[in-house]
Structure 1
């Protein structure tokens, strides 16, 4: 497809994106469905304020690209966010946080790729049946997926002594934090590392005066994505606007 400039459907009228792909593909979230997820390449690095506007407009980031779902006749994917000041710390979530804090060290740094990270990601994908696209990821695959970026990106790594047990990639805007991807050691299931990582991201957003934590897509029919309903109160972008979702946690 020939590259073309496309306007941004958000307050970012001055920041053009180059469309590099817009073809139907197998849905990555629901088996047996077709998806349309146009990939756009920003013509320059995205500033923190611009990043906030992209998140507000329902975009997600993958590598150096931005995308939104454009699937005809399907609205199963619902971008989800939390208002940090209104977040409800239930007793069960506090237990997850406190249990993790007792045994884990959390480190924040720019993303990097090495063999320990690649091996942990591949193990996570294999044991959670997420490797449908083929064989294990290489170091170059990892870099393209979780290191290369078009905005301010950091990694939160979680360590048990000198053992890396989980890692979360996050994007930082001026007033938002976006959870990009998290993977963890299946042997540490008792620590609920996926939940623990989201809680640490909420704490990071609060400590840095960021209002929103964007959790990515909620898809009711996908068990790897529907866990997000546990974090409340939350908003989901439905029919082009952010709407409060009334669910409860325990």
Structure 2
């Protein structure tokens, strides 16, 4: 059995309202790997376009739409914009980054719920409880880390990250909306790039890019990047690099 051939159980496969584009129908079959996913297997799943939610993997198979495009950075090529440099410099002056295992507590749950509400991401209109938070952001089928961001000893941001053999995978990030001026979401991605370079990893996966969905379009600001389109990773360069 090769690294890619891991036994999986299909646990959900139904069409539903698209969480990204109003009026569209989505199909995101959830697969449960029946044993732990290794770092090498994590790389393989990500390169094939898979995403993770809790202990499940999924790959969009929507009936009439292909707007969701997995997006990744080649960290050796990535170049910060001037605005991104400012965010990193400002964040480094005031924020402390801690890396550990994902945790679930009242502060994290409250911050997650408010972030979704204030950023227009709360499609259900219902706050998650501890069990739902645990299922989504703590449970995993692979090696998963929590990057937490602290301001004067107070937790102000959380990023859930999967570790592959040659990559990191940004699963989800949320932050204290009272600290929006620090651009913690952007800062978190830039710190993940730093850690990829520190750990000599090749790629940082940023999830899905969805044209027409404002909360997902920001990912195109990180250049150059690659998107998985028609089963091929296609490069999107900076206009000035001529490649």
Same fold (TM over 0.5): yes
Pairing partner for 1:204 from 186, 195, 220: 195
Pick which of 186-195 and 207-216 moved more.
186-195
Q: Give the structure-2-normalised TM-score.
A: 0.95
Pick which of 171-180 and 13-22 moved more.
13-22
Pairing partner for 1:52 from 43, 48, 51: 43
The answer (yes or no) to whether the contact 1:180–1:216 under 8 Å persists in 2 is yes
- What's the counterpart of residue 221 of structure 2? 230
The answer (yes or no) to whether the contact 1:229–1:247 under 8 Å persists in 2 is no
Pairing partner for 2:184 from 193, 211, 233: 193
Q: Deviations over 1:86-115 (max 9, x none)?
A: 011222211110000000000000001000
User: Please, which runs of 5 or more residues in structure 2 have no aligned partner?
Assistant: none
After TM superposition, give the deviation of residue 173 of structure 1 in Å. 0.4
Alpha-carbon spacing, 1:13–1:154, altered in 2? closer, same or farther (3 Å): closer
**2:97 matches 1:122:** no
Q: Give the structure-1-normalised TM-score.
A: 0.93
Map 1:51-130 onto structure 2 (within 5 A): 51-130=42-121
Q: How many residues get paired?
A: 239
Specify the SS of the correspondent of 2:172.
strand
Pairing partner for 2:131 from 121, 135, 140: 140
The answer (yes or no) to whether the contact 2:224–2:235 under 8 Å persists in 1 is yes
- What's the counterpart of residue 165 of structure 2? 174
- What's the counterpart of residue 7 of structure 1? none
Moved over 3 A (4+): 246-249
* Whole-Å separation in 2 of the counterparts to 1:226 and 1:216: 11
- What's the counterpart of residue 16 of structure 1? 7
- What's the counterpart of residue 5 of structure 1? none
* Whole-Å separation in 2 of the counterparts to 1:149 and 1:14: 19
The answer (yes or no) to whether the contact 1:172–1:178 under 8 Å persists in 2 is yes
* Whole-Å separation in 1 of the counterparts to 2:26 and 2:239: 30
The answer (yes or no) to whether the contact 1:230–1:248 under 8 Å persists in 2 is no
Alpha-carbon spacing, 1:140–1:210, altered in 2? closer, same or farther (3 Å): same
* Whole-Å separation in 2 of the counterparts to 1:119 and 1:24: 30
User: Please, which runs of 5 or more residues in structure 1 have no aligned partner?
Assistant: 1-10
The answer (yes or no) to whether the contact 1:232–1:248 under 8 Å persists in 2 is no
